[in-house]
Chains A and B, each alone.
Chain A
Amino acid sequence: MKKRLLLTRTKKDDIANQYLYVYSDEIIKEAESRGWNADIVEDENNTGNEIESRLKKTSPDFVFFNGHGTPASIHGHKNDKVIDVKSASLLKEKVVYARSCDALSELGTEAVNKGCKAFIGYKGKFLIPRTNEYESTPAKDKTARPVLQVSNIIGKRLLKGATVQKAIDDTQSRARELMLEMLGSEEPYDAATFKALYRNYSLLSFEGDARATA
């Protein structure tokens, strides 16, 4: 039976969401190429009611959230709360990656308490550096690209069957490699990329079972 991915994203709300939207394409392609059934919930559909309904009906193995977060919640279209500590039981028996600010601390803990296999996320603000001229063409933005591609490694490894711990280790290892390269770089834009890589890499962690697979 095909494994199921549920991925949420929103293009229209703000620049940060637009960047997350564009770089999520890599995850969708990876899922399809590996034979996963990819259920993409985006824009006007990315609301609390819709996510609750899909989580119940399709029972995904892996949930990849993109969007703004708080310690206790993740938000979708027009800042609608798509999941929070009260609805965390919906994540039972799933592996979750929240590419959102802060959500690991309370939501991640509560989700695991309610039976989520593992919840990967950030213990603070997820930074996206960008070059202003590429605001409307994020895929061409060399300042943002390494940061978002590194954050995609988690999703790609989990889709390939890696454990949560392996997905995190590979992500942090690639972040360290890039930071080492950038320390010797004469490119001034790398200073912004370095800061974001450093910050996100420091905040990345998980709750739950390190040996879990999606």
Chain B
Amino acid sequence: MDKAYLKKLVIARLKTIPPNISFSVGSYGDYTRDELIREVKDESPVGKEFTEIEIQMLIDTPKIVRRLSEKAASSY
């Protein structure tokens, strides 16, 4: 996955969040959705933090879904 595509992917996923949402990111401070998008574009420390979160979430989501399907199967 090249860097430009990675950035595009993270920004697209952040855009699914409503614009009136903010995140408190510890000592980095508070960021609105659009500020986070800018941070990702600028590759700042907080932008890199959110890039890591999105990628790790994509990797782990199948595990979470697997638990959902196991739960559903056991209730049939």
Contacts and interface: CB of A to CB of B under 8 A. Distances in A.
B12 to A, nearest CB: 12
A179 B61 CA distance: 10
A16 B31 CA distance: 11
Interface string B57-74: 100110011011001000
Chain B: interface secondary structure?
A: helix
B24 A69 contact: no
A101 to B, nearest CB: 3
Given A130-B22, A198-B53, A202-B56, A125 B30 contact: no
Interface stretch (A36-44, A108-116, A189-197): A189-197
Contact of A128 (B17, B23, B53, B54): B23
A187 to B, nearest CB: 10
Given A188-B16, A188-B17, A198-B57, A15 B24 contact: yes
| Contact-residue bracket for chain A | 20 to 34
A16 to B, nearest CB: 4
B57 A16 contact: no
A176 B67 contact: yes
B27 interface: yes
Contacts of A124: 49
A162 interface: no
A190 to B, nearest CB: 10
Interface of A: 14-16, 19, 68-70, 100-102, 124-133, 143, 176, 179-180, 183, 188-189, 191-192, 195-196, 198-199, 202
The 5 A-B residue pairs with the shortest CB-CB distance, nearest first, are A101-B26, A16-B24, A128-B24, A125-B26, A192-B21
Interface of B: 16-18, 20-30, 32, 49, 53-54, 56-57, 60-61, 64-65, 67-68, 71
